[in-house]
Structure 1
Amino acid sequence: MELRHIRYFLAVAEERNVTRAAERLGIGQPPLSQQIHALEDEMGVRLFRRTGHGVVLTEAGEAFAADAKRILHDTRIAVEKAQSAGRGEIGQLNIGFTGSAAFNPVVSKLIRAYRQAYPNVTLTLAEGNTAQLLAYLDERRVDVAFVRLGSQSPAGVQFHHIAIEPMKIVLPATHRLAKKRKIALSDLAEDPFVMLPREASPTLHDVIVGACREAGFEPIAGQQAPQLSSVVNLVAAEFGVSLVPASVCQIRVEGVVYIDALGKPISIRLVLASRIESTPAKTANFLQQASVFAADMS
């Protein structure tokens, strides 16, 4: 039995006339009659009783009609769901982000716009450092991830530009330079630097070390922190000084100040990572919106 047989049966049942049903279906009356007879033979019951004015359903036909309508309805719903999934309008999108990325205005605006455009896609969020998020991407635990990326690109991953963010110096409020509006990075040559381990966030680590070297000194390695928010807290506890993306200034911790650096601008890239392989529609839609937002912020 095929779906077309069910459609033929319901058309005849609703029209109560084979000729009118054939016209409605756009087929000839003889072929339609043959299909109805074949369906009755396959089921082993008579579905219609012929009258002088057309046909009426038998008791078996009445019983079959109720389920036949449900079958066609369920089939239509299944097709619509498949089409929606194919357009990326339903499903689940898993998004990873570094602690600092969450503070970048592009990220929050992008996620909000995506939710408004695709309200039936469920979003799940996972926080981690860059190394963790790239591993999550490889393990398919996330579909996309906002990360800080340097010059190296892991195999199988593509990166989409989101923003270039300036870096700020963060000092304990008790620091000798805390009341300055701007300071030279070289003024911190004798201070220990609180940083994330390089294996956790190679880009941020290398940006800080590179900026210090360009300023003429090798940074003194201080306490290591698991996340950028922890960097700020450790600076507040006077473990040292650091450099953080400007968006981190939204973390208002008592006992720290954020200061601009004199000289050559120090910046770091924020990118959106995704797998290179065939991209599901829901992920492609998110990447498309990301490219629009990145262009608007350029």
Structure 2
Amino acid sequence: MDMAMELRHLRYFIAVAEERHITRAAERLGMQQPPLSQQIKAIERELDVQLFVRKARGVELTDAGRAFLEEARATLNQLDRAFETTRRASRGEQGRLCVGVTSTTPFHPLVPRAIRAFREACPMVSLTLEECLSNESVDRLRNEQMDVAFIRASSGDGRGLVVNALLEEPMVVALPSTHILAQGKPETTVSLERLARETFILYGPPGTGMYDSTIAACQAAGFSPRVGNLGASTQLAPRITSTLSLVGAGLGITFVPSSLQRMNMEGVTYRALKGPNRPKATLRLASRRGDHSAVVKQFINFVRKEANDFAAK
């Protein structure tokens, strides 16, 4: 018998065993009683055992029949689980997902909100987060070491990737709390031109979102940022936390996305920027072009929905 016949025979047998009556089992299965009797006899011939004792008012299971019932139920339950697992995987509700984040993206409320919504809707997906710079995320995506990534950079040539801009937010200047521009009311704004002679602490290497945004904003305001040095090395901080620590120590200033104001660092004060060339930070979601993973598609859909909802507020 092929698999379809075997599964159908198991369901016939279970129905008779549970109803203890062939006619009632036939009604339950939506078939006539004689064909069902023939199918049960065919199973007994196939197994070369007697599964039922026929009585005037129905049937009773033999010891062999009770053993077969237990195994038949287990087999169908296992198949049902396999079918449901396959369906969940097809819908993107089961599997694995590696999500990259830079050190600034988790501070935007969209990112934790989208991840939380996805996890609540798809608890069977094993989701892991990896923190790295935008350019590192791009490399890991291309090398299939990561599935999707929240980034700030535009990803350069975008080779092999799909990069969706989700939201824009203004950038603010992070100042040492002792700085003269940090004095006054919290709503005090600072023009870019006032920062022309300041020492900048740049975050990450060229090609990362915050580095490029800082350079572009200063050049648009008519100056190139003066980058601080420690000894013979240019002041480049690998992570935003180290950047702000250096600001708090009075070694310079930096631009950060406005959502970073959630990070309260000792000795750091944030001020909004003013003027026609105020820099903005773009939150983006990158994935591999042509990735057919249902889990990845499901996650991207969740992020887009949350981004649309966030922008509408």
TM-score band w.r.t. shorter chain? 0.7 to 0.9
Alignment of 1:129-148 (within 5 A): 129-148=133-152
Q: Which of 31, 34, 41 is equivalent to 1:27?
A: 31
Deviation at 1:148, TM superposition (A): 0.4
Aligned pair 1:197/2:204, yes or no? yes
Q: Which residue number corresponds to residue 216 of structure 1?
A: 222
Please give the alpha-carbon distance, in whole angstroms, between the structure 1 residues aligned to 2:190 and 2:205: 25
- Normalization by structure 2: what TM-score? 0.84
For residues 297 and 53 of structure 1, the distance between their equivalents in structure 2, rounded to whole angstroms, comes to: 67
Cα separation, 1, equivalents of 2:252 and 2:59: 91
Aligned with 1:38: secondary structure? Answer: helix
- 1:176–1:53 Cα change, 3 Å: closer
String of CA shifts for 1:221-268, please: whole Å, max 9, x gaps.
330101112111112223222111111122222222222223122102
Residue 176 of structure 1 deviates from its aligned partner by 4.1
Amino acid at match of 2:177: A
* Residue 175 of structure 1, aligned match among 174, 179, 182: 179
Deviation (angstroms), 1:270:
0.4
- In the alignment, the residues of structure 2 paired with residue 295 and residue 14 of structure 1 have an alpha-carbon distance, to the nearest angstrom, of 52
Aligned partner of residue 286 in structure 1, secondary structure: helix
**Is the 1:191–1:220 Cα contact (8 Å) retained in structure 2?**
yes
User: Counterpart of 1:111?
Assistant: 115
Q: Tell me, what secondary structure is at the counterpart of 1:208?
A: helix
Give the drift of 1:151: 6.9
Partner of 1:280: 293
Determine the C-alpha separation between the residues in 1 that align with 2:307 and 2:31.
54
> Contact 2:173–2:256 (CA<8 Å) still a contact in 1?
yes
In 1, the alpha carbon distance for the partners of 2:161 and 2:152 equals 14
TM-score, length of structure 1 as denominator length:
0.88
In structure 2, do the counterparts of structure 1 residues 40 and 287 end up closer, same or farther at CA, with 3 Å as the change threshold? same
Q: Deviations over 1:41-65 (max 9, x none)?
A: 2222222233444433222212211
Equivalent residues of 1:196, 1:205 under 8 A apart: yes
Partner of 2:304: 291
Q: Indicate whether 1:269 and 2:269 are aligned.
A: no
Q: After alignment, is 267-276 or 129-138 more displaced?
A: 129-138
Letter in 2 for 1:221: V
* 1:42 and 2:54 aligned: no
Q: CA RMSD in A?
A: 2.4
Structure-1 residue corresponding to 2:231:
none
Aligned counterparts of 1:240 and 1:81: Cα–Cα separation in 2: 54
Q: What secondary structure sits across from 1:41 in the alignment?
A: helix
CA contact (8 A) 1:161 1:291 kept: no
Mean CA deviation greater in 222-231 or 128-137 = 128-137
Aligned partner of residue 126 in structure 1, secondary structure: strand
1:255 and 2:255 aligned: no
For residues 243 and 189 of structure 1, what CA distance do their matches in structure 2 show? Answer: 13
Q: Sequence identity of aligned pairs in percent? A: 42
Match for 1:227 among 228, 239, 264? Answer: 239
Residue type of the partner of 1:133? Answer: S
